[in-house]
Amino acid sequence: MKKVLIPVTAAFLFFLTTSAALAQGPGSGGPEPQDPQQPTAVPIDGGASLLLAAGAAYGWRRMRNKNKK
């Protein structure tokens, strides 16, 4: 019974959350560029540089520990 109940519950919750996500209205779209040839500048940083540095440090640590063994 549990083998059937867990996947059915997970599927129900998945479809429940996706229907709520589709019910949201469109956003503002952001600022319009003055020159149509140049795209609007979008800041990428927002913590992405910290995640990239943490990933690089984690990878370096894993490689170092793998070489020690």
For 5-46, write each residue's pLDDT tens digit: 988 998 888 877 766 555 556 666 766 656 666 666 666 666
Q: What is the pTM of this model?
A: 0.36
Classified as helix, coil or strand, 48 is helix
For residue 66, what are its two tokens? 């793998």
The answer to whether the beta carbons of residues 22 and 15 sit under 8 Å apart is: no
Tell me how far apart the alpha carbons of residues 17 and 14 are, in angstroms, rounded to a whole number.
5
* Per-residue pLDDT at 27: 61
